[in-house]
Amino acid sequence: MSAVRGWCPSAWRPMAAGDGLLLRVRPPLSRLTCAQALLVAELAAANGNGAIDLTRRAALQLRGFDEASWGEAVKRLVAAGLVDPDPAIEAVTLTVAPDWHADDDTHRIARALEMRRVELPRLPGKFGIAIDAGERSVLGDTPADLRVERGVHGGLILRADGRATGARLVRGREVDAVVSLARWFIASGGAAVGRMARHAAVLPDGAVGEVGPLVGQSQGEQVSPRHGRLTGAELASLAEAAEALRVTPWRSLLPERAGGAAMFSARPSNFLSCKGAPVAVHSPAVTSIHRRAADPATSVEACVGAPACPQASVATRALADLLASASLAGPIHVSGCAKGCARSAPAALTIVGRAGRYDLVRDGRADSPPALLDLTAAALLAELGAS
């Protein structure tokens, strides 16, 4: 265990946060069966502090553990198939486009890669692989270093992050190509910079291509807790009503229809019908959950901030709620520090905590130069016309 920050915690490497140990669970194929979801809900409530955060890499983050409760939780997560017994294999961050269907390209490749993770070299802590091989690629805004995507030519490509185009893949050889490029990254000195987008080395011949990704949006109907946070009781309520839950990198859950593959498409109803029984999204047990307003222009994202994160000197989510109610043009990102955990893409407005005050970045990221410095919350709201 370590208290070092700046790397991605996992189940085996919990991070010491302001509210205790934080452990991260990445469900295989981004899918929680009903029983697995109930276990996570139970562990969060009984062993942790009850809070479950959904992350931008399709993981569930459980908070408030101590040494003993963490050990007990990991043991049960391994037994349930949610955590690999080998910490080195568990450390590989694999993000799967959540609206896969059984035996489609995303499902086929993700399963093959999960079984061959042992062939990957030891990769930097934040290095990730995205399997995004549906009819369109939907994970473009999700952090990843190697991307298996649908190309504009209709076939699959492997694209190194930071490059606009990727190389065509041969069906059945996709995992070979991923393993080969990951090995090249390490052999060419990539570990020193940590991320593919920052690695300036010329790609090897087989990884150079001219095909761009065919970009789209997930069509699944998602349940989005406010700020990506839900309680164990809320997760249990959703799990009991669904065949399974897919965990998305948009800090939401995608309930799976009975029978497995088919996902919800957009419906006029305010209900999700799972296991044949309609469940109100706004039922009393899930009061903080609402259907996702899939409009990036109005989105407000905020990290956990102070006091839960020791890196933060300011509260973030209360301010984000105030900004959300002010109907400002977004996207808006409120970050407890310049690390920007909640969003890596630029936002129209980014508010960054520093030394107990707020800096304001326009059309940038949390680490971009601010337009205004050292604002109190009241001065910031006045500046934005939100007070």
Q: Which of 110, 196, 254, 341 binds ligand SF4 (CB under 6 A)?
A: 341
Site membership for ligand SF4, residue 380 (CB under 6 A): no
CB of 189: closest distance to ligand SF4 in angstroms? 27
Q: Is 22 in the site for ligand SF4 (CB under 6 A)?
A: no
Report in angstroms how near the CB of residue 166 gets to ligand SF4 at its nearest.
30
What is the rounded distance in angstroms from the CA atom of residue 40 to the CA atom of residue 32? 9
Q: How far apart are CA 128 and CA 120, in angstroms?
A: 12
If the CB atoms of residues 229 and 339 are measured against ligand SF4, the closer one turns out to be 339
- Identity of the residue, 106 or 335, whose beta carbon is nearer to ligand SF4 in the bound complex: 335
* 11-15, long-range: CB < 8 A, 24+ apart: 11/73, 11/74, 11/77, 11/82, 11/83, 11/90, 12/74, 12/83, 12/87, 12/90, 12/91, 13/87, 13/91, 14/65, 14/70
> Given the complex with ligand SF4, which of 158 and 337 has the nearer CB atom?
337
User: Taking CB under 6 A as the rule, does residue 55 contact ligand SF4?
Assistant: no
Peptide bond into 307 cis (omega under 30): yes
Among 33, 36, 311, 350, binds ligand SF4 (CB under 6 A): 311
93 binds ligand SF4 (CB under 6 A): no
If you ran DSSP here, which 8-state letter would residue 141 be given?
T
170 burial type by CB count under 10 A (0-12 exposed, 13-18 middle, 19+ buried):
exposed
143: contact with ligand SF4 by CB under 6 A: no
Is residue 360 a contact point for ligand SF4 (CB under 6 A)? no
> CB within 8 A of 214, min separation 6: which ones?
136, 137, 149, 150, 151, 152, 154
Which of the stretches 117-125, 262-270, 306-314, 318-326 binds ligand SF4 when contact is defined by CB under 6 A?
A: 306-314
Number of shown-chain residues binding ligand SF4 (CB under 6 A): 12
Residues in the site for ligand SF4, rule: CB under 6 A? 303-305, 309, 311-312, 335-337, 339-341
